[in-house]
Structure 1
């Protein structure tokens, strides 16, 4: 039985390295791809994906005790490298500890991910489980990144102001949507566990029913929500918005993981990236910032 092991994993991903980085680090995205198999569900109790931040999750399998995983982010170099520790325990007994280093490299229009896991098993030999779990998880990660759309805009305004304009039920419907679109709200409750049920109305009068269900709202840093096709309709995408401020300018990152690769390609085809940039442009105008 081996106590120590060094494991290496490589993945070619058909997504830009910036998109892969978002999928690797954003809590809303990690919740989508983290479960290695459909038999496993992952519940995130805490998630702070930045240097010095911590993530705590429970892996649940019917009939078995929960597996607790604590991740601590030690170094984050956006779209280049992350380093984290990982401690796995069951019923309060530590099973393993590991150091995980992930390197991201652009390759043409896609990217390459290299992951090294330095593993110490403390209760039995964990190497086989780690190999299986990481291999499946990174496969999920690649598939998720390849149907993820990332839109980004810098707004010359403080982060708190941008956040307040986004989560205000009076102002959000005024700017949400591309140029020429308006919103007609049925009900709106902008909090964790809340929802926004509304119609987007196109320039030609076409009505597009929408339903957003909100997960985590971490003021003023990020929010996550699920997009449905109409009230209580089928899921369209998992989405999040992240707000980062530098010298009085806030970079807004809006990302969506589409429910299928086909929906992602369809959205790209009708210009979803350009329409999303128009939406963030309207947000900037609402604030009165360039």
Structure 2
């Protein structure tokens, strides 16, 4: 029997092929808290979002809070841009996220989906199960979702394995903590581990600006640094790139997030290292401990204001 189109112009059998429930599972060699940050932090999502080297993903908006949305353009040379809008509906840290996703091209909606991500794990390993309830308005979307989500989650697993996350609750209002971080006069006063000082060449903490400086160790060793600032969302978060010296090789994509905690401020500092070997080298020389010392200096600095 041959199916005939209904009043929408779509054959009944055709409609059945446009609804699907897809499930993806990944075991990740990274702590649960790190995987959560890699999944939700905009700076990390920008690192793993592209499903293939031939694809460029440009983020137009990125707000990973309940009620916030993320808008990106997926670009492939010679093809129309694909627009993806993600809206965050539920965020239970290190447990579950729920978001909607609408994909369109040339002003026409291609698909809509409800995406549920469930997290579990320990301080050593973690597990992610992503369920996609897909409604397609264009053909072949299920295959595209399987390929795109599969590749993206493979990227995510790799990114999580080279991501370092540091957290500290600072007993000061968020406005004061943000002000100490984003003031070109005060940032060099506290930045760096215990005993280190900063010598600034130039500093512009606005989006598109940079900070070129030397970190000087207690023994006088000089470590050239260059931070390039991408996103600056006042009192919420900033994203920046870490370079080895002025215009040197990139060694990490980083972000800092600031959250109210009953009059105090939770600061989350994250870094996605360029390679796993760089991540392992940083862990080997005690980067986590040194980073906590830096946040401790920030804590003491704001306490003295």
> How would you bin the TM-score normalised by the shorter chain?
over 0.9
Cα distance in 2, alignment partners of residues 134 and 247 from structure 1: 38
Q: 5+ residue gaps in structure 1?
A: none
Rounded Cα–Cα distance in structure 1 between residues aligned with 2:281 and 2:288: 12
Q: TM-score, normalised by structure 2?
A: 0.94
| Correspondence for 1:172 among 187, 195, 211 | 187
Residue 45 of structure 2 aligns with which residue?
30
Q: Which runs of 5+ in 2 are unaligned?
A: 1-13
Q: Distance in 2 between matches of 1:105 and 1:123?
A: 34
Using the alignment, how far apart are the partners of 2:236 and 2:126 within structure 1? 27
CA shift for structure 1 position 108:
6.2
Which residue pairs with 1:14 in the alignment?
Answer: 29
Q: How does 1:31-180 map to 2 (within 5 A)?
A: 31-107=46-122, 109-180=124-195
CA distance in 1, matches of 2:206, 2:190: 19
CA distance in 2, matches of 1:246, 1:203: 34
Query: Where in structure 1 do 4 or more consecutive aligned residues deviate above 4 Å?
Result: none
Paired position in structure 2 for 1:202: 217
Once residues 232 and 287 of structure 1 are traced to their aligned partners in structure 2, the CA distance between those partners, rounded to angstroms, is 31
Q: 1:108 to 1:278 in 2, by over 3 A?
A: closer
- The answer as to 2:264 corresponding to 1:249 is yes
TM-superposed deviation, 1:139: 0.2
1:59-89 Cα shifts (integer Å, max 9, x gaps): 0011111000000000000110000000000
Q: Distance in 1 between matches of 2:302 and 2:236?
A: 17
Q: Measure the CA separation in 2 of the matches of 1:103 and 1:176.
A: 36
Aligned length: 290
- What pairs with 1:173-192 in structure 2 (closer than 5 Å)? 173-192=188-207
Q: Does 1:280 align with 2:295?
A: yes
Task: Give the secondary-structure state (helix, strand or coil) at the position aligned to 2:59.
Answer: strand
3-state secondary structure, aligned to 1:173: helix
Question: Residue 227 of structure 1: SS of its match in structure 2?
Answer: strand
**TM-score after normalising by structure 1:** 0.99
Aligned-partner Cα distance in 2 for 1:107–1:203: 36
